[in-house]
Amino acid sequence: MELTLTGRKAIVTGAGSGIGREIALRLSAAGAAVAVCDVVKETADKVAAEVAGAGGQARAYAVDVSDFVAVQQLCEQVAADLGGIDILVNNAGITRDNLLLRMTEAEFDRVIAVNLKGTFNFTKACSRGMIKSRWGRIISIASIMGQMGNPGQANYAAAKAGIIGLTKSVAKELASRGVTVNAVAPGYIATAMTEKLDAATRETYIAGIPLKRAGTPEDVANVCLFLASELASYVTGQVLRVDGGLLM
């Protein structure tokens, strides 16, 4: 059995940069037609052009993943444009870090709305078509922070823990319909988000990683590619950590 996605149609949210961009590129390279979704149309356009430049097929879409109605409409449009949706990667996410005693209601609510409700919105919108075709892959990007917590990230950790619970519940609901549902939990990954940390903090994180290096977006994308393929047809309801051994 080959690791190929030829003929499959995929949606990747938060695909305008970082991990999402790499996932979109990797799925496309394996043969999937990709809907590149981002809150900013211009960044989605750039990644779609990058996919096309590499010989792949992609279309760019702009959406606020926290908007339930907008997500429903977008998924209907993508299904019409691509001829269906076989693979969903819920990657869109933000941080609004603060210690609990300083965290505002708005900081908490926005992170939950984008990271957790956005995952629910797309999962709900895409699952019906997958059920009808009796084949589907839903992959949601969680985080090891949803399993271990992190000071200053109560909102982020809560959202990512919620994604894990959502993943396991939906996996049980959809398994009999040929749809697998899994989460990928990255650890410390070198992205624009982690580059905002000061050098001392970055060094502390890396010192605690058994493999002694930061992960890359490619490391996460490789696991997503596996989960999206036929090679992972017997894997569902799982949380695959991509963290260099940081959380064991």
Q: Please list the active-site residues.
A: 156
Rounded to the nearest 10 degrees, how much is the dihedral formed by the CA atoms of 213, 218, 223, 224?
140
What gap in Å lies between CA 29 and CA 49, rounded to an integer? 14
Neighbours of 180 (CB within 10 A): 22
At 109, list the tokens: 């609510």
What gap in Å lies between CA 154 and CA 97, rounded to an integer? 8
49: nearest Cα among 59, 40, 41, 61: 59
Name the amino acid, one letter, at 86. Answer: D
Neighbours of 101 (CB within 10 A): 5
225: nearest Cα among 11, 23, 57, 48: 23
Total number of residues shown for the chain: 248
User: Is there a contact between 142 and 160 (Cβ–Cβ < 8 Å)?
Assistant: yes
123: nearest Cα among 79, 83, 151, 163: 163
What gap in Å lies between CA 232 and CA 155, rounded to an integer? 31
Name the amino acid, one letter, at 188. Answer: Y
What gap in Å lies between CA 228 and CA 248, rounded to an integer? 25
